[in-house]
Amino acid sequence: MQYIAVLAICLLANAPRAVLAASKYITDEDLAKCPKDAAQVGDCIKILMNELIPRMRLGDPELNIEPYDPLVINRLSFLYSTGPIDGKISVKNVKIYGFAEHKVDKVNIKVNGDKVKVRVLSNVDKINMLGEYKGELNVNSLQLKPKGFFNVTLFDTAFRVIANGDIYTKDDFRYLHLNDIEIEPKIRDIIVKANGIFPDPELDELAVNIANSYWRDIYAIVLPETRPAWAPVVLRQINQALLHVPIDQFIQPSQ
């Protein structure tokens, strides 16, 4: 039954927006199907995902699936209440480049009845995020209301993704729905560019230099604080795409 999770993967690698045919459902088209009883089904799915990711970057308007490179975020807000930082930051008109260069390193699938658990390890050499921001923050005893533009580049980012879901049947097809997802990114280096942190440009430059020097400490605070805002967005996008991905399209029929 492991093969049932073939679909789970066409999601995590970017079947969130993958479309292979201009029809109601995604089909296998010219892709090789994964063996139903393959002992190493994860390796087959890894190959499939690595082929789909760069090909599906443009999405498909007919299926209401948006492009993912760049990935556009119209607006998102984050609350902070850890350590010396307390307050809120909102971002808008954000564009994220680089996801189409995603490489999947390993896929592991476990199926128990209709329950599916998927683990995916992947990496991206470079991710660039740019957009607008504004905030209301208390940093120790200092009150800040920053507003401006940001440009952040991540280098050598490794992702560990764990997702749990259920198999269900609709219109005589089987599909996967994810109930939860855990995403843990690890980054080798970050370069931050931003303005509007302080009214004084020299203080702005100083703040950016500090952020680039101590980004690991800042990242350790920011990641867990922002996860409740962006994780549900990722989960929702994946489940939206999975509505169009019948599992059996990617599994060889029994001989």
Nearest of 106, 169, 115 to residue 2 by alpha carbon: 115
- Each residue's pLDDT tens digit, 135-194: 998 877 788 899 999 999 999 999 999 999 999 998 888 888 999 999 999 999 999 999
Average pLDDT over residues 183-209: 92
Mean per-residue pLDDT over the chain, rounded: 80
CB atoms within 10 A of CB 9: 28
Q: What is the CATH number of the domain that holds 149?
A: 3.15.10.30
Give percent above pLDDT 70 in the chain: 79
Question: Can you give the pLDDT at residue 67?
Answer: 81
Select the more confidently predicted residue: 236 or 90: 90
How confident is residue 129, by pLDDT bands cut at 50, 70 and 90?
A: very high
Nearest of 135, 122, 126, 128 to residue 225 by alpha carbon: 135
Task: Give a three-class secondary structure readout of 1-29.
Answer: CHHHHHHHHHHHCCCCCCCCCCCCCCCCC
Question: Can you give the pLDDT at residue 18?
Answer: 39
Distance of CA 184 to the CA centre of its chain: 10
Query: What's the total number of domains in the chain?
Result: 1
Question: Can you give the pLDDT at residue 192?
Answer: 94
Residue 13 has pLDDT above 90, yes or no: no
Distance of CA 204 to the CA centre of its chain: 30
How confident is residue 253, by pLDDT bands cut at 50, 70 and 90?
A: low
Range of the domain at 99: 2-250
- Each residue's pLDDT tens digit, 73-105: 899 888 877 767 788 899 999 999 998 898 999
How confident is residue 206, by pLDDT bands cut at 50, 70 and 90?
A: very high
The SS3 assignment for 203 reads helix
- Does some domain include residue 255? no
DSSP string, 79-139: EEEETTEEEEEEEEEEEEE-GGG-EEEEEEEEEETTEEEEEEEEEEEEEEEEEEEEEEEEE
Checking phi first, is residue 132 left (phi over 0); if not, alpha (psi -120 to 50) or beta? beta
Question: Can you give the pLDDT at residue 1?
Answer: 31
Question: Can you give the pLDDT at residue 144?
Answer: 85
Give percent above pLDDT 90 in the chain: 33
Question: Can you give the pLDDT at residue 25?
Answer: 59
The SS3 assignment for 58 reads coil
